[in-house]
Structure 1
């Protein structure tokens, strides 16, 4: 049976690049994991093995490191834009570049007196520790004319120890879950948002500020929503971002419900007044949804939160 070549791409995955910016005695770190995927006129390399149109993946790796020096890393998004533009504009056979980036955050280590969490006299200005917080992610796609920038985060663990209920749900003969009127709500937020910046003719967003503000609004909505369902909280988080950041048109969430079950202490003669919980890691409920600006068509793939 005859066959034809379908969608294809190639590149160098997980290039770990750390950029140190030295401002006198004070150093700043950008720590990225960059994956490059290129596609275009690549039929011959698949059909005949001709590499005439192939830019070696080793070259893409070298480009990532060279651009960290030449262009610096102002933000994950800006760095990805530099790379995507370079690959598409400098190589005629390449029609599309997709750059995926994870950013790992670092914080300064305070001296033993620990008086200050922020930079100052009580901190070593060139020593850092990885933050035990979220990982920032980005995907930048360019086809020579149009841009698509999707940013977000993963592994942001949040918890409300109260102000959450779950009741009034459907019950059948297999239902054993008891209704809850005061429960823990905890999740590991995975979120991706799509910017409406698509052309060099438009004003480019301030990527760093946009990320910080989107994260802030997300957390504020989580903390301030009296939740009757995780779905309700998800929608409030997305709506807060869309309504507050004009540069963002779409946001997709994947939120596991990190169940905390009250432990039965009665066998020990103890009353458990919403104090002691069993934190179950699996199985877990998984809530996923997209929140859109009214009138905008969804474009973030359903599996994008696995980025």
Structure 2
């Protein structure tokens, strides 16, 4: 197949079967590295074509799978160049060990041209992964195919112990629909310990987070309609916003009390309102802070 694209490289035999030791896979980085390698082999005689990039990417994926790799971290960014071949999907479905031990999953932008591949990938993950403890949604958009959201909800619900969840909203709409992604966290209410939300509109769907009584770490950045913070007893609280009104967070400081060890309040380009109330509350209720 390489010769078909004008690449005539010889590969030396390695001492080890390195492919089976793969633990971390970033799909987008794999595509970029394939593009750079092809460009180097062609010696700038002509730019790499999309078919050559995704065919070699798929060959490498099959190589990892066939050689018995078992991932611990997976980052998915489905670009315009992403194209998963049916044969690769078959290998993924037949070799469950490739996904079965994933502990950290992060998902970024899904291109309009790669939606079908994203759905297929996510469905296989939902079927074969149970050990994810960290789930990061780097850029959430509300216009994806409904099958994408159903697959993501299945992934969340099927985990045995989801501990860390992060969502970064890529849109700014007054009426926001998270398509059940946030609501699905109710199934993880006993295990969820850390929640990171950035640029989100905390609508009624976020009320389900009140059931997460074991939440210890809360990091919020520039969110509209701030969560009802008095529901939690935290060891770590971080709020970045403009402005920050301390009168709205003193209840969580009082409730967290001696548990609170790390506090970060950053009011971008503005002052923190009610600072005297904030300082008095910290003095009276939070004697164990080690990071402020």
Report TM bin, short chain. under 0.3
Question: Which structure is higher in helix share?
Answer: 2
Larger fraction in strand? 1
With a CA cutoff of 8 Å and minimum separation of 6, indicate the structure with the bigger relative contact order: 1
TM-score normalised to structure 2 length: 0.23
